[in-house]
Amino acid sequence: MTTHRIALIPGDGIGREVLPAARAVLDAVGARHGVRFGYDEFDWSCARYLDQGAMMPADGLDRVRGHDAILLGAVGEPGVPDHVSLWGLLIPLRRGFAQYVNLRPIRVFEGLDSPLRGAGTVDLVVVRENVEGEYSEIGGRLNRGFPTEMAVQEAVFTRAGVTRVLDYAFELAARRRGRLTSATKSNGIVHTLPFWDELVTEWAARYPDVGWDSEHIDALCAKMVLEPGRFDVIVGSNLFGDILSDLAAAVAGGIGIAPAANLNPEREFPSMFEPVHGSAPDIAGKGVANPIGAIWCAAMMLDHLGHPEAAAEVEGAIATLLAAGGPRTPDLGGTGTTVSFTRALLELVS
Ligand code: ATP
Ligand code: MG
C-alpha cells in the first residue's frame, strides 16, 4: 500500500465545497488501486487574512514542503483585493516550490453545451510558463500626474527558464498525439519572443518525432475558437499561456469544469493542483458548486503521483457521467448539486 501525504487548502467560498468532493473521489479510487491518502488541512485563505492579517503563516512554505502534493480549492473574498491572495499565497507557493509548469487540460465532453459543439473532438493541453516572462516586478512609473507620465514593465525570458518548460511540453506532446504549437508574437515584440522562437526551434530538433508549428498569439486565439480540434499541446509564455488557457476553458464548457496543475516536474518540491475557478461568492454556501474542476484536479494529482490508471478512471468517469446525462449542477444547465454529482461519480469509481 502506497501512502501519500496531501496538504489540503480548501480556501474560501466554494473552495470549501468542492475539495471534500475531490477528497472523497481520491479515497474511493485510491482504495481500488492500493493507494492511501493522509491529509493535513490548512486554513490559509482570505478569511484568515481578514482575521489575522495574513493569508498564511510566515513559515507556511515549510509546513507543506514535506507533503507529496497540495490540493487547493479556491481563494478570494469580496472586499479582499485579488493581489492579496495572489501575492500572499499563490505566487509564494508557485515560485517557492519552483512550480514552473502550469498545465491546463481542455476537453469538450460529450453531453455538454459549448460554443465549440460541432468543432469535433477537442482534447488539448495548454502548457504555460509559470514563474518568469511578462509577470515580472521589474519596471516602474515615472512622472506621475505630468503629461510625460509613463509606465515601463520588463519581461524576463531566460534560456534556463524557457527550455525547462519546453522540455516538459515536448515530452508531453511525445506521450500524447505528437503535435506541439508554440504561441509567439515575434513580429511585434522584437527581443524576448524571437529568443523564445529560437529556443523552440532548437528544442524541436531534439524531438524529431514531435511535429510542431509556431503561431502568433492573435491568430492562435482565432484558431482556438474556429478549429480547436487541431491542437494537441500548446506551449506559451506566462502571459500567453494565461490568456489561452482561460479562453480554451471558457469555450470548452465553462469555468466550473476546468482544472489546473502547478508542477515542479523534478519533484524536488510539492506540486499544487487547483481548479481554474475562483471562490464564486455568488453561489457559495448554496451547495450547487460544480465539483468537476476540483475532481479533475484530483485526477491530475493521481497522475503526477504515479497512478496514471487511477487518474484515467476518474477522468473517464466524468466523461461517462456527462455523456449519460447524469446529474449536473446549474452552471451546466442541470438541477443537481455538488453532492448529487459527486455521489453519482463515486458509484462509478468505487
Ligand atoms: P475570484 O475573485 O475568487 O476569482 P471571481 O468571481 O472572479 O472570483 P469565479 O469565482 O471563478 O471568479 O466566478 C466566476 C463565475 O463563475 C461566477 O458567476 C461563479 O458563480 C461561476 N462559477 C465559478 N466556479 C464555479 C463552479 N465550480 N460551479 C458553478 N459556478 C461556478
Ligand atoms: Mg477572479
**What ipTM did this prediction achieve?**
0.93
Phi/psi for 108 (5° steps) reads -95, 110
Q: Would you write out the chain's pLDDT as a tens digit for each of its 350 residues?
A: 889 999 999 999 999 999 999 999 999 999 999 999 999 999 999 999 999 999 999 999 999 999 999 999 999 999 999 999 999 999 999 999 999 999 999 998 888 877 765 666 789 999 999 999 998 889 999 999 999 999 999 999 999 999 999 999 999 999 999 999 999 999 999 999 999 999 999 999 999 999 999 999 999 999 988 888 899 999 999 999 999 988 888 888 788 999 999 999 999 999 999 999 999 999 999 999 999 999 999 999 999 999 999 999 999 999 999 999 889 999 999 999 999 999 999 999 99
pLDDT (0 to 100) of residue 31: 95
Task: Give the predicted TM-score (pTM) of the model.
Answer: 0.92
The domains of the chain, with CATH numbers, are 1-99+265-350 (3.40.718.10), 114-252 (3.40.718.10)
- Give the residue, by CA position, lying nearest to ligand 1 atom 6: 280
d(CA 243, CA 220): 11
d(CA 317, CA 348): 6
209 is catalytic: no
12 is catalytic: no
- Give the residue, by CA position, lying nearest to ligand 1 atom 20: 280
Distance 291 CA to ligand 2 centre (A): 17
- Residue 154: exposed, middle, or buried by beta-carbon count in 10 A (0-12, 13-18, 19+)? exposed
59 is catalytic: no
Q: Which atom of ligand 1 is nearest to the CA of 294?
A: 27
Q: Which atom of ligand 1 is nearest to the CA of 292?
A: 27
Would you say the CB of residue 279 lies under 6 angstroms from ligand 1?
A: yes
246 is catalytic: yes
d(CA 6, CA 30): 13
Instruction: Please name which of 7, 73, 92 lies closest in space to residue 270, comparing C-alpha atoms.
Output: 7
Choose one of 16, 255, 286, 329 to mutate for the ligand 1 pocket test, by most ligand atoms within 8 angstroms of C-beta.
Answer: 255
CA angle (294 as vertex; 293, 297 as ends), nearest 5: 90
Cell of 198: 529560437
Instruction: Please name which of 125, 333, 324, 332 lies closest in space to residue 345, comparing C-alpha atoms.
Output: 324
pLDDT (0 to 100) of residue 110: 84
